[in-house]
Amino acid sequence: MAQEEPTLPDDEDDKRLMALVAQGDDDALRLLVHRHHARLVGYLRGEVGSQATAEELAMEVFIRLHRAASRWRPEAKLSTYLIHIAHNLVLNEWRRRGRKPTTALEFAAEPGDASQQSARRVAELDEAFQRAIAQLPTEQRTAILLVVQQELPYEDIAAIMGVPVSSVKTWIHRARARLRELLKDFYADE
Amino acid sequence: MNNPERPTFDQELAASLSRGRAVAVPGFADRVVEAVRGERRRRVVIRWSSAATAAAACFVAILTLSTPTEESLNRQTLALVARDESVQFADLLGAADDLSLLSPAIEKPSVVEVLNAPGS
């Protein structure tokens, strides 16, 4: 039986990799990107509604991470730090475009093993949720994505958004109410 | 009454969002490393061009601020006299003659008048 090598917890391993990145180790950077990019792109796609833009922004996040590697202090988890950078880039993106997203798109649910009919319902529902989320105010959208999609604790979300925890709770409460309102046709009998 | 088999709004919201939680992009890490290398190269070029500019500025400053010898000072003085810019300017405008017309007409006293003047 092959003996597994002892592995470091992700946080410790991230710290070790960041130290190597600060010394110019591209393999360490590649490993970090490989480990974190999927969640980052997922979050960004939820925010901007476009796969291409999400990838561009994620690329910029990692370039900034590389620039800041020598100054980085492991006060928070690296994944939280990455989302913090991503959130700031999203805000810049909306400022640059001068508008918020009005449509959600490009989201195709994977049917998996479900039957054709239920796969269609999943796809419809996903699209409806994406459209509804795109209509939320920026703060509410970010808060609901971070708590429900990324499963971050309120404290981390408050740190990422630079606001008190109470504001995060309020935005999440309002986002749920607004989504319920926007999707009332799907849940008319609830 | 809720249908127990049908997922609730919160459950479906969570399920829908979690399906888009992680979107793996093939080759993304390589793209990032390539972009970082490109940026590193640009920074090296910028650093070297800044150093070259600073070195050139120092070289010019050394040439300009070096102490002139007496001989070179004399040469510069002669050169300045040789190209008296005020004369050149007046010549250019053809104003040398015209200026005499504008000067006040004062009759110069003769030598005899000067010598006879009281107190001389």
pLDDT digits (tens, 9 = 90+) for A14-58: 899 999 999 999 999 999 999 999 999 999 999 998 899 999 999
Task: Write the ipTM.
Answer: 0.75
Specify the pLDDT at position B27: 93
Whether A190 sits inside 8 A of B2 (CB atoms) is yes
- Chain A residues whose beta carbon lies within 8 Å of the beta carbon of residue B19: 109-110, 126
Tens digits of residue pLDDT in B63-98: 777 766 778 778 887 887 777 666 666 666 665 555
Does A109 lie at the interface with B, CB-CB under 8 angstroms? yes
State pTM to two decimals: 0.68
Tens digits of residue pLDDT in B9-20: 888 889 888 888
Whether B29 sits inside 8 A of A150 (CB atoms) is no
pLDDT range class, residue B5, cuts 50, 70, 90 = low
CB contacts < 8 Å between A and B, how many? 101
Lowest-confidence segment of B26-35, B57-66, B109-118 by average pLDDT: B109-118
Tens digits of residue pLDDT in A60-104: 999 999 999 988 888 778 999 999 999 999 999 888 877 555 454
Query: What's CA A41's distance to the chain center, in Å?
Result: 7
| Residue ranges matching CATH 1.10.1740.10 in chain A | 9-102
Tens digits of residue pLDDT in A157-179: 999 999 999 999 999 999 999 99
- Chain B residues whose beta carbon lies within 8 Å of the beta carbon of residue A46: 17, 20
C-beta separation of A14 from A78 below 8 A:
yes
Look at residue A4 and tell me whether its pLDDT is greater than 50. Answer: no
Of the candidates A30, A38, A187, the beta carbon closest to that of B9 is on A187
Q: Name the token pair of A152.
A: 């971050």
The correct CATH number of A110-190 out of 1.10.10.10, 3.30.360.10, 3.40.50.150, 3.40.50.720 is 1.10.10.10
- Give chain B's contact residues with A (Cβ, < 8 Å): 2-3, 8-10, 12-14, 16-25, 28-33, 35-37, 39
The correct CATH number of A9-102 out of 3.40.50.1970, 1.10.1740.10, 3.40.630.10, 1.10.569.10 is 1.10.1740.10
Look at residue B40 and tell me whether its pLDDT is greater than 80. Answer: yes
| Residue ranges matching CATH 1.10.10.10 in chain A | 110-190
Specify the pLDDT at position B63: 77
Specify the pLDDT at position A121: 78
